[in-house]
Chain A
């Protein structure tokens, strides 16, 4: 019980501390590759602090969703960070980080965002919300199938146990099941966090934007929560993917040395993955909206092949 609490606290502090840095790294890498100076690595921190010092506005006739959706998104992202084996694979007492539980916590945040998009009653909000939900619906089978494929060799659907078994059996990293499933998961992470080529995180003014369209009507501290909450989702999903792909040095228990090693290792892995993601994004253009389902269908095929392979290989 005590160990679980320690691990949850470490996960949360780690995620809260590294997330703005991660976003800062991604923006800086992108800026440098495009020949700009960029705002620097701590700029996201300054943005959030600025937003929290501003008053949010409220239109007459708006419902409590306006106030509560940003808070719920933030809370669901925090729960996500607590449950995903970012630093340690210790099974948590009472709340095992089980695949379906994690996915539905993620979906709760998605629903909060989509409801917020509809709340204001503007065309932009509805448009973003509708597109976001279509992508979510199409991503869902890939998420479940790809982790299902990884869970077959591990014999469990608890994420921590899957990471642990992959860390202990390094031969499982380089086989078709693992590679196909990780490839499918990367597409999922890109679609769920609204990165290129699915959505452009750097724009406010495109008719095809998805994430920005939903949060267009929020301001001040509401926007602060929304931004931070969405960034945390990126950290959590990216963290899960890197720990599944390269599970070295993830702590197995709650001892301080193991946790410190885990924090250091995950930091390195996350920063590297984020820099890579940002570098690749420079060379990508946004896909046409109705080409995105084809990308997602492709990732579903990868995940399905991976499940089939898992029955043949093991």
Chain B
């Protein structure tokens, strides 16, 4: 038995323990034991993934299955390759962090028997998807992941109406995704004559293009790309925070894994329109996602839209990689694919921090509306610090993983030789513009999220009474923030490992920590050296500052610059809605905001004003223009069908008779 097989046994075993413990134990003990068992599942998955990336390959874990009345069935096989191993590592780390957070966080329905069983089943599903070596195992794990997350999402359905609506959207979209995948794999299995990945190679056109379209549509739905992103901004805010972290950081990545599986492993060397489709899908998602995120004031909804943005960037990177492979520029293409994996890992790290941080804020204040928060930096220092690190990562600033990932992507774009290829000459600059605008808007979004949420003065009673969260939650926050910084400081060795996962070459480590893209000439990034330079210069600034502050120490005054007046009421502070107002105006065409102003007058004096109420909400245009009309159409069809069923027994007998006649006609023809 080697490392990979041992890891697979370990994760299956610990997930079983988690489910049993969740059912058997009660109260606080259940949180701790079931949480630790899920944590163990995550760690086992991460270790298995790491072992696979390091080059160990398992013999494969075959689970024999039998069904009554059916002949011999192929066994379900778990044997991750390097690409799968990378996604197991990613998902395992996220699951471990969110389970640790869940130990302290889960309360009420999320801490119930159902809650923890759902979480354990979901965790198992997520880590098994990339381990699957055939389509049937893949689909079973996929469905386990979908069902587990639906149960988790439903946790608070009894107390909040919004949860039910969110769950319906989620269940419909996730099953749409499943059906598309079923159809897509059906096409492949039919053409290949077997269910294992190894059999599904060398499928010819046009079957390949049909399978590509079906599978990418299915995976895009799970990944939350525009226009099938609508479940994300509903499901993520309503799920318990440790579940939203796992869903956003790990589960949507399975959509990305699927796209990579299809384009790199099952159907390599596809036509170039596949790549263009992926680039376009990704670029639109990235821009739309970050624009929507920038105007949200619900913290978790903001993070959900930002997930669409990041998944869009990853898809763009994959598309760029495929396009460059098409035009024969393999060095730049390899860099783009590495960028896709780095973006995925970095998003997993910082989005875990951000969702867990949002959970900590929710736990401490009961609020996730940024307009009601503020002043939390001095009340919850660890949460504020880690959320800040996550926000830096999301804004792609040094020295976080987000910066390294986007740096690699931009290097691929800038080093693509577009002089000979007209398609590239159009796609590359446009992609560059989209990525740059996304980075800029991401900066605004996360300055807003961190600044409005944690700085300034509390905007509500709840925010002013907040206190730091418990030990396990702080540990989970610090761990995932550490990963965000660590990947940003020492990107070299990991990137080199990832190169194996997508069959890339020319990626090397320089000076133990830095990253060198050898295929593109001498392109080097050494974050550690950059940090050292910054620290030396900062030290200089600090020395001067120290000398000045020895002579003139800082003085605390009530009301600086207050001119003797009263401190303004917190309601007069700038809040999240006002912060994004200029942006909402600039992008008025693509961000539809609805505003209403109601002025109340005293009964006896219609010219006086006794109160003003202002409401603003941002409407998701895709949801409004595509989904609601479709739902109305379906409803109208349903109304029409209802006319057939009027409850009269004679009519039903008539229907049966007509059906019988039809069958007879068909059979005897």
Chain A contact residues, CB within 8 Å of chain B: 8, 12, 52-65, 67, 71-72, 74-76, 78-79, 82, 94-96, 98-101, 104-105, 107-108, 110-111, 114-115, 118-123, 125-127, 129-131, 133-134, 136-141, 143-145, 148, 151, 155-157, 216-217, 219-221, 225, 289-290, 293, 300, 304, 307-308, 311, 314
CA–CA, A3 and B574, complex, Å: 49
Q: Which of A61, A82, A138, A221 contacts B552 (CB 8 A)?
A: A221
Contact call A121/B433, Cβ cutoff below 8 A: no
Residues of A within 8 A of B578 (CB): 126-127, 130
Residues of B within 8 A of A121 (CB): 374-375, 455-457, 570, 573
Tell me which residues from 580 to 607 in chain B have a Cβ below 8 Å from any Cβ of chain A.
580-583, 585-586
Q: Which of B455, B526, B541, B580 contacts A74 (CB 8 A)?
A: B541
Interface: B538 (CB within 8 A): yes
Q: Which of A52, A79, A134, A141 contacts B436 (CB 8 A)?
A: A141
Write the B550-589 contact mask toward A (1 if CB under 8 angstroms, else 0).
0111111111110000001010111100111111011000
Interface: B419 (CB within 8 A): yes
Contact call B444/A136, Cβ cutoff below 8 A: yes
Tell me which residues from 321 to 376 in chain B have a Cβ below 8 Å from any Cβ of chain A.
374-375
Q: Which of A52, A55, A225 contacts B541 (CB 8 A)?
A: A225
Q: List 15 A-B contacts (CB under 8 A).
A: A56-B554, A59-B557, A67-B554, A78-B541, A104-B397, A108-B398, A115-B451, A118-B451, A123-B574, A139-B440, A140-B443, A144-B410, A145-B433, A219-B561, A290-B585
CA–CA, A110 and B439, complex, Å: 13
Q: Which residue of A lies closest to B556 (CB)?
A: A58
CA–CA, A275 and B435, complex, Å: 35
Contact call A220/B581, Cβ cutoff below 8 A: no
Q: Which of A67, A125, A138 contacts B440 (CB 8 A)?
A: A138
Contact call A311/B418, Cβ cutoff below 8 A: yes
CA–CA, A57 and B552, complex, Å: 10
Contact call B414/A157, Cβ cutoff below 8 A: yes
CA–CA, A151 and B410, complex, Å: 13
Contact call A122/B568, Cβ cutoff below 8 A: yes
Contact call A304/B534, Cβ cutoff below 8 A: no
Chain B contact residues, CB within 8 Å of chain A: 374-375, 377-378, 384, 392, 395-398, 403, 406-407, 410-411, 414-415, 418-419, 425, 429, 432-433, 435-437, 439-441, 443-444, 447-448, 450-452, 454-457, 511, 521, 523-526, 529-530, 533-534, 537-538, 540-542, 545, 548-549, 551-561, 568, 570, 572-575, 578-583, 585-586
CA–CA, A55 and B440, complex, Å: 35
A136-B443, A145-B436, A148-B414 given; A98·B560 CB < 8 A: no
Residues of A within 8 A of B574 (CB): 118, 122-123, 125-127, 129-130
Residues of B within 8 A of A293 (CB): 586
A118-B455, A126-B573, A144-B410 given; A65·B377 CB < 8 A: yes
Q: Which of B437, B454, B558 contacts A141 (CB 8 A)?
A: B437
* Interchain residue pairs A-B with the least CB separation, the first 7: A126-B574, A140-B440, A137-B440, A121-B456, A94-B529, A118-B451, A63-B377
Q: Which of B419, B560, B580 contacts A58 (CB 8 A)?
A: B560
CA–CA, A145 and B410, complex, Å: 11
Contact call B432/A145, Cβ cutoff below 8 A: yes
A96-B524, A126-B574, A140-B436 given; A104·B403 CB < 8 A: yes
Contact call B525/A101, Cβ cutoff below 8 A: yes
Residues of A within 8 A of B572 (CB): 123
Contact call A71/B545, Cβ cutoff below 8 A: yes
CA–CA, A30 and B530, complex, Å: 38
Residues of A within 8 A of B406 (CB): 100
B220 CB, nearest partner CB in chain A, Å = 25
A220 CB, nearest partner CB in chain B, Å = 7
Contact call B545/A225, Cβ cutoff below 8 A: yes
A58-B555, A123-B572, A130-B580 given; A143·B541 CB < 8 A: no
A60-B556, A144-B410, A148-B432 given; A95·B530 CB < 8 A: yes
CA–CA, A118 and B370, complex, Å: 13
CA–CA, A126 and B573, complex, Å: 8
Contact call B533/A82, Cβ cutoff below 8 A: yes
CA–CA, A71 and B443, complex, Å: 20
Q: Which of A65, A101, A110 contacts B530 (CB 8 A)?
A: A101
A95-B529, A141-B436, A221-B549 given; A122·B573 CB < 8 A: yes
Residues of B within 8 A of A100 (CB): 406-407, 410-411
Q: Which residue of A lies closest to B535 (CB)?
A: A75
CA–CA, A219 and B548, complex, Å: 13
CA–CA, A307 and B437, complex, Å: 16
Q: Which residue of A lies closest to B407 (CB)?
A: A100
Q: Which of B384, B398, B555 contacts A55 (CB 8 A)?
A: B555
CA–CA, A76 and B452, complex, Å: 23
Q: Which of A71, A79, A120 contacts B542 (CB 8 A)?
A: A71
Contact call B525/A98, Cβ cutoff below 8 A: yes
Known: A95-B526, A96-B524, A144-B436; 4 extra A-B contacts, CB below 8 A, are A104-B398, A107-B443, A118-B574, A307-B429
CA–CA, A134 and B375, complex, Å: 23
A238 CB, nearest partner CB in chain B, Å = 20
Contact call A61/B538, Cβ cutoff below 8 A: no
CA–CA, A308 and B581, complex, Å: 34
B559 CB, nearest partner CB in chain A, Å = 7
Q: Which of B425, B537, B548, B560 contacts A308 (CB 8 A)?
A: B425
